Amino acid sequence: MAAHKKRTQEWTRLRLPIPLEATDAVSALCIELGAPGVVTGQVDFRRKKKSTRTVRSTRIEAYFPPDVPRRPLEKRLRAALSNVRTHFSKLDPARAEIEPFETGDYGTAWRAHFPPITVGKRLLIAPTWHDVKDDSRHVIRIDPGQAFGTGHHPTTRGCLLEIEQACTSEPPARGLDVGCGSGVLALAMRAFGVRRVAAVDNDRIAVEATADAAKTNGLGPVSTGPSLESRRGQYDLIVANLFANLLVELAPRLAARLAPGGRVIVSGLLENQEKDVRAALRGAGLRIRRRRCLSTWVTLVAQSPRAREA
């Protein structure tokens, strides 16, 4: 009788040496892109035996389950790591090893690492495999995988908290999610009562993920498109969770799409990038109204004038 061959599953493994101070940023990034967790090990490198100068570094390993397609994952990882490098100069994305990794027959055990999470006072985000019911909160179903945005990363949480704040008294009439990823921010706007919501992303997978999530959650239609230019008109609330350099570049275009008195929520920037983003928003004619910082990641809320000059 032939021996039973144990079935294996092909995951994706990221291995990368990083400066110790970049651990939180890179770990949060990996979890947001679908890794159930990360493994780190601290190492000290000394230039000379008698030297007092120590370069502190760690190696990070992250494992992404079979549900996360490898090719788009690698593209997103390398782009995100390049952005993080602008804040941690000793980080070298070129040293990232992204490769297939076979595990034992663990089935869906990795899903235990993505429990439902509460955000703010009225929101609960849960993967579709969790049977949750909470009449006191809006439940949004998002599975980790193809697109950024599970609610774990501080930038996503910061945006969600500010969306809730913006919708506390009277929800804005029109909302726009720029760089929508999984669509969780667009869905949060719908959940909090924004009547007309659009979402744009230049990544086709993100647009498809947002459209699928809108159907899954049944919160009402979310209009999707490939770019800011694909949407017409002005919006009372715009959310843009993007890299800091993109926020600086897009600031005038975001301001132009705000209705008089409208607000834009921006995130994706670290504290050492805040000055540049603030300057870009002010240069576009917006006033900074609120600031929130979670684990060195900053979320800003800016507002357009109530009436525009002729």
State the total domains in the chain. Answer: 1
Write down the pLDDT at residue 304.
Answer: 96
Write down the pLDDT at residue 1.
Answer: 35
308 found inside a domain: no
For every one of its 310 residues, what pLDDT tens digit does the chain have, with 9 covering 90 and above?
A: 333 344 456 889 999 999 988 887 888 788 878 887 787 765 443 333 444 445 578 888 888 888 888 888 898 899 889 888 888 889 999 999 999 987 655 556 667 767 899 999 999 999 888 888 888 999 999 987 656 777 878 899 999 999 999 999 899 999 999 999 899 999 999 999 999 999 999 888 889 989 999 999 999 999 999 999 999 999 999 999 998 889 999 999 999 999 999 999 999 888 888 999 999 999 999 999 999 999 888 999 999 997 544 3
299 found inside a domain: yes
Range of the domain at 248: 147-303
49 found inside a domain: no
Write down the pLDDT at residue 145.
Answer: 67
Write down the pLDDT at residue 286.
Answer: 98
Write down the pLDDT at residue 193.
Answer: 97
189 found inside a domain: yes
38 found inside a domain: no
| φ/ψ bin of 57: left (φ > 0), alpha (ψ from -120 to 50), beta (otherwise) | beta
282 found inside a domain: yes
43 found inside a domain: no
Write down the pLDDT at residue 218.
Answer: 94
136 found inside a domain: no
Mapped to the 3 state alphabet, what secondary structure does the chain carry? Answer: CCCCCCCCEEEEEEEEEEEHHHHHHHHHHHHHCCCCCEEEEEEEEECCCCCCCEEEEEEEEEEECCCCCHHHHHHHHHHHHHHHHCCCCCCCHHHCEEEEEEECCCCCHHHHHCCCEEECCCEEEECCCCCCCCCCCEEEECCCCCCCCCCCCHHHHHHHHHHHHHCCCCCCCEEEEECCCCCHHHHHHHHCCCCEEEEECCCHHHHHHHHHHHHHHCCCCEEEECCHHHCCCCEEEEEEECCHHHHHHHHHHHHHCEEEEEEEEEEEEEHHHHHHHHHHHHHCCCEEEEEEEECCEEEEEEECCCCCCC
Write down the pLDDT at residue 104.
Answer: 59
Q: What is the CATH number of the domain that holds 194?
A: 3.40.50.150
